[in-house]
Amino acid sequence: MNDLILDTERVFVLYIIQEGVAVVDSKYTQAFYNIGPLKATPKSSTYHDLARWTGIGLESPPCQDFGLNNPRFSIYTKSYNTTAQRAAYDVWAAAIGGANSP
């Protein structure tokens, strides 16, 4: 996922998926659009397409015998900036839930 054309720094990939709708409600996505994503790819289909969309389908490179892997969690991250993670979550939670957000 390191595309130097988009950005020379590490890229954070996020999937926002909402069941039962053709378009994810903007209350879940607008906060991310506001910070200016490098790329956004809206799609609509069924649950069966999720693996392909997220790069973990049987045809995806990490699932082939190329010696690649596709961890779903940041297991190779040496440290976490929990303050930044909390701040990002708080902005998102406030945007979608306001005072009623847990």
For the chain, give every domain's residue range.
26-100
Q: How much is the pTM?
A: 0.52
Least confident stretch, 12-21, 29-38, 73-82: 73-82
Backbone dihedral region for residue 55 (phi beyond 0: left; psi -120 to 50: alpha; all else: beta): left
Residues 6 or more apart whose Cβ sits within 8 Å of residue 25: 18
> Which of 98, 31, 68, 49 minimizes the C-alpha distance to 40?
31
The average pLDDT across 35-57 equals: 83
Question: What's the token pair of residue 31?
Answer: 């906060």
Per-residue pLDDT of 52-89, as tens digits, reads: 888 778 787 767 766 555 555 555 667 778 888 888 88
pLDDT at 89: 81
Q: How far apart, in whole angstroms, are the C-alpha atoms of residue 67 and residue 70?
A: 10
Distance of CA 44 to the CA centre of its chain: 16
pLDDT at 70: 54
Question: What's the token pair of residue 45?
Answer: 């289909």
